[in-house]
Homo-oligomer: A and B are copies of this chain.
Amino acid sequence: MENYDFLIFLAIILLSTKAFGLLTEKVHLPQVVGALLAGIILGPSCLGIVAKTDFLTKTAEIGVIMLMFIAGLDTNINDLKKSGVACFVVALIGVLVPLVLCGGVYYLFYADSFTAKNVLSAAFVGVVFTATSVSITVETLNEMGQLKSRVGNTIIGAAIIDDVLGIIALSVVTSLGGESANPSIVLLKIVLFFVFACVIGFFVHIIFKGMDKNHGQSRRVAVWALAFCLMMSYVAERFFGVADITGSYIAGLILCNITNTKTAIAKKMTVASYILFSPVFFASIGIGTDITGINAGLIVFTIILLVMAVVSKMIGCGLGARVCGLTTKESLNVGIGMVSRGEVAFMAAQKGMDAGLVNPAVFPAIVIAVVGATLLTPVLLKASMTEKAPETANTTA
């Protein structure tokens, strides 16, 4: 007879991630934090009820692939074009500074010698902290009536470009971490993958565009789209050594400007994602976070990493904004708004651990720093903005 344990594991994961998610939402934290907590509690470092099985690992992988596919689909290419140079500068400096600072902290603490592998590990930790997740910032700005201000527009535009830059950085470090360690071949493979994506994307775009009018809303298009996304994820990993989530994100980008189709696909993927796949993904991150190995050294590292995670975005993005002509106050707010991290950070950290480049003992520190930075964002943003609320309120559209 078969073993039916996976059914009850799934049920427990769904119940607990949702219950904890609603609890954290009550105290104005994102549900993701609750889902992670649920995973930590269920996992071996706490109750030890649910272990990572092959089935859960693969389901979680589909979960993260779907999340990145949805992120790709939801990208608004027109917004990206409009947001222009300022946002690009904010995003670029905002990616480089955390890459160097957070990677540097890891290197100082955990690299015993100057080897390529140690540098690569540090780069991976740096990459984890490059990608902003602005959903919390958007919520906070919206609450304060500042979403349509110059600060709000800059943050949203920069966050989109930031995602793309983060994915490129992730592709580079993942590929370098692969077996064929020759950097020039690795970079060639990345370039070839993007060429491949452009060629395939050209034809797939035409095919889906053709279905847009008659079948844009229909089931078949969503099924084709998911198949395409899975195919791109597989090809990225298997033939180009690029992360599978890069493949699915690009699959999303390819379809993101086909009006009817894009909306219908994103809607259906979102349902499949939140009903099963993404709870399993977040729970599995929590399950993989072994907090039993936390000691004084790790706590110090965690605190410094958290500080760097916050400061690096404030400096990087703030500097970018200032260079592009925003006032000092506005630049500071842009910097603070970009501090929060999210799903992409967890994905990158998980990839680093899978590739044997991120020390599993350090994983809890990374998770805590990501969550901590996210939690601090609305607090800092409110403190900074309410200080001179009457003036900035005038810029609200």
Give A contacts to B, CB under 8 Å: 1-2, 4-8, 10-12, 14-15, 18, 22, 54-55, 57-58, 61-62, 65, 178-179, 219-220, 222-224, 226-228, 230-231, 233-234, 237-238, 244, 268-269, 271-272, 274-276, 279, 354-355
Majority secondary structure, A binding face: helix
Copies of this protein chain in the complex: 2
Contact A223 to B58, CB < 8 A, known contacts A8-B230, A268-B271, A271-B272: no
B274 near A223: Cβ-Cβ < 8 Å: yes
Which chain B positions have C-beta within 8 A of A268? 271, 275
Which chain B positions have C-beta within 8 A of A179? 1
A274 near B219: Cβ-Cβ < 8 Å: yes
A237–B22 CA distance with the chains assembled, in angstroms: 31
Which chain B positions have C-beta within 8 A of A244? 4, 7
Which chain B positions have C-beta within 8 A of A57? 2
- The distance from the CB of A60 to the nearest CB of chain B, in whole angstroms, is 11
- A219, A274, A275 pick with most chain B CB within 10 angstroms: A275
Cβ-neighbour of A7 out of B178, B222, B234 (below 8 A): B234
Query: Nearest residue in B to A219 (C-beta to C-beta)?
Result: B274
A220 near B22: Cβ-Cβ < 8 Å: yes
Which chain B positions have C-beta within 8 A of A234? 4-5, 7-8, 11
A-B contact pairs, 6 of them (CB 8 A): A1-B354, A7-B233, A7-B244, A11-B227, A15-B224, A271-B271
Cβ-neighbour of A14 out of B7, B65, B227, B274 (below 8 A): B227
B2 near A354: Cβ-Cβ < 8 Å: yes
A227 near B275: Cβ-Cβ < 8 Å: no
Which chain B positions have C-beta within 8 A of A230? 7-8, 10-11, 14
- The distance from the CB of A225 to the nearest CB of chain B, in whole angstroms, is 9
A81–B224 CA distance with the chains assembled, in angstroms: 41
- The distance from the CB of A269 to the nearest CB of chain B, in whole angstroms, is 8
The 6 A-B residue pairs whose C-beta atoms are closest, nearest first, are A14-B227, A11-B230, A7-B234, A8-B234, A11-B231, A271-B271
